[in-house]
Amino acid sequence: MAKNQKRRDFVKKISLGGIIIAGSKSGYSSTEVLQPKPPQRQQTYTANDKIRIGIIGCGIQGFSNARAAAQVPGVEIAAACDLYDGRLVRMKEVYGDQIRTTKRYEELLGWSDIDAVCIATTDHWHDHMLKAALTAGKPAYCEKPMMHHIEEGMSMVEAEKKSGLPVIIGSQRASGIDTLKAKELFEQGVIGELNLVDIRYDRNNSNGAWQYSIPTDASPSTIDWAAFQGDAPKLDFDATRFFRWRNYQDYGTAVAGDLFVHLFTALHVITSSKGPERIYATGGLRFWKDGRDVPDITLGLYDYPATDQHPAFNVQMRVNFVDGSGGGSQVRMIGSEGVMTLGWNEITIERNPVSKRPYYGGWDSFATFSAAEQKKFETWFKETYPDPKPEMRSPKEMIYTVPDGYSAHVDHWANFTDAIRHDTKLVEDTTFGLRAAGPALATNNSMNERRIINWDPINMKLV
């Protein structure tokens, strides 16, 4: 009843008070620009008050995290660790010669003036480094997916609980104002009862397919190859494996671990779901046959059970690195009364409620009745279902956009640093991270083993 009232309130709002109303091919549309959350305690910090961050892993995402963290008031990028000399040089070029650098993450964790760390390494190092950071007393921002193998996840959850320190998993959609607005709209029931989520995350270029650039000076003298390998199989030096590590199961978690996990994160925030209970996936290596041992096309099907927060629904998820249509991503949450579509920077609500008044004619058995019976049926129908009273027409489409320059990545870092300072609630701790990464990695298991995988979303384990 509460959800129905919220839905009525929403319909009334868009009927009477859209922010921007315009004509569209489907009728009226209304657009609203979302407002960012209030700044996280915007105050002046002295040098002694700042949270000094050490970046462990200074690749693409390591630099992205450094840029986002540096925009949060009271945060300083103070140290960097990477196994390639050139990246340490670049960190100093960007953040100043005062940045302390090392190739040994253990050394960085031992520096008492580093308050927290960002772990943005290859996936196969995440569990080792997170546990080491917590043992060293450092709060940690750990990139997604949280772990390399499903069985590593619970030990990371236990390590976080034992330490009592803040840990956030780096799937920034959990903090995005668009994701949080989608959650609000979902809880209002604006699309009716959710039944299907249709997701695609496609690409059509070499960088998108993980063929990252390799520097001309890449060699055993500039890269600590032995340290990079860690617990992976020991191989001779290979610059391609170092710089394009996502292409190899030894170090990464394939399409599902890199990309599906983002989509699970957003979906679980919006629906308050703990995750699916049945997983089936297929796919293969269709085009990028460059020595990689992971697929470039992955398709997953997921059964979500009914809970107090949502009805039972299904998810179909796809990533295609060979998308000749041009690539692009989209999340469509389809309900009984409409669809909510999430793009990178906007949400679109399209309402198509089923009429309470039955319809006859067209592709219907009515045309097979005798002429006399058709007349009798029409008389009965009009008496039983009189013409409805005129009602105000609501917008066919409601669009919510984020403002120019908005960054969910910065908000995610603000959530982490606010938890360090004020013990506020984290949006994506290791428990949430495991519930997003578990189904993603189980997708790989299903594809590799060619079978359905059963997952316990409450206890976060394979069954």
Tell me if 396 is assigned to some domain: yes
How far is it, in rounded angstroms, from Cα 234 to Cα 228?
A: 10
CB 27 within 8 A of CB 395: yes
Same domain assignment for residues 88 and 115: yes
Tokens of 65: 């995290």
Average confidence score pLDDT of the chain: 92
Tell me if 375 is assigned to some domain: no
Q: Please report, for residues 118, 355, 431, the alpha-carbon distance to residue 56 in angstroms, rounded to integers and kept in the order given.
A: 6, 56, 22
pLDDT at 8 over 80: no
- Report the alpha-carbon angle 319-322-327, nearest 5: 65
Tell me if 43 is assigned to some domain: no
The DSSP call for residue 260 is I
Same domain assignment for residues 247 and 302: yes
| pLDDT over 90 percentage in the chain | 83
Categorise residue 326: left if φ over 0, alpha if ψ from -120 to 50, beta otherwise. Answer: left
Same domain assignment for residues 168 and 239: no
Average pLDDT, integer, range 399-421:
96
Same domain assignment for residues 21 and 148: no
What pLDDT shows up at residue 18? 41
What pLDDT shows up at residue 17? 38
Average pLDDT, integer, range 206-215:
96
CATH number of 147's domain: 3.40.50.720
What pLDDT shows up at residue 442? 98
Q: Domain total for the chain?
A: 2
Average pLDDT, integer, range 399-423:
95
Tell me if 326 is assigned to some domain: yes
Average pLDDT, integer, range 161-165:
98
Same domain assignment for residues 300 and 324: yes
What pLDDT shows up at residue 360? 83
What pLDDT shows up at residue 392? 65
pLDDT at 438 over 60: yes
Average pLDDT, integer, range 130-141:
98
What pLDDT shows up at residue 10? 52
Same domain assignment for residues 307 and 449: yes
CB 245 within 8 A of CB 124: no
CB 188 within 8 A of CB 7: yes
**Best CA proximity match to 176, nearest among 443, 414, 409, 429:** 409
Same domain assignment for residues 122 and 194: no
Average pLDDT, integer, range 300-317:
97
What pLDDT shows up at residue 21? 42
CB 241 within 8 A of CB 235: yes
Categorise residue 210: left if φ over 0, alpha if ψ from -120 to 50, beta otherwise. Answer: left
What does the pLDDT look like over 245-278, one tens digit per residue?
999 999 999 999 999 999 999 999 999 999 999 9
Q: Record the pTM.
A: 0.90
Same domain assignment for residues 122 and 81: yes
Query: Which of 221 and 37 is assigned the larger pLDDT?
Result: 221
Find the domain containing 240 and state its range.
2-37+177-213+225-355+391-406+430-462
pLDDT at 11 over 60: no
How far is it, in rounded angstroms, from Cα 57 to Cα 43?
A: 30
Tell me if 300 is assigned to some domain: yes
Tell me if 229 is assigned to some domain: yes
Same domain assignment for residues 24 and 84: no
pLDDT band at 39 (very low <50, low <70, confident <90, very high): low
pLDDT at 160 over 70: yes
What pLDDT shows up at residue 16? 37
Tell me if 240 is assigned to some domain: yes
* Adjacency order of strands within the sheet including 453-456: 20-24, 27-33, 397-401, 346-351, 338-342, 328-335, 194-202, 313-320, 297-304, 278-284, 453-456, 461-462
Same domain assignment for residues 126 and 238: no
Tell me if 412 is assigned to some domain: no
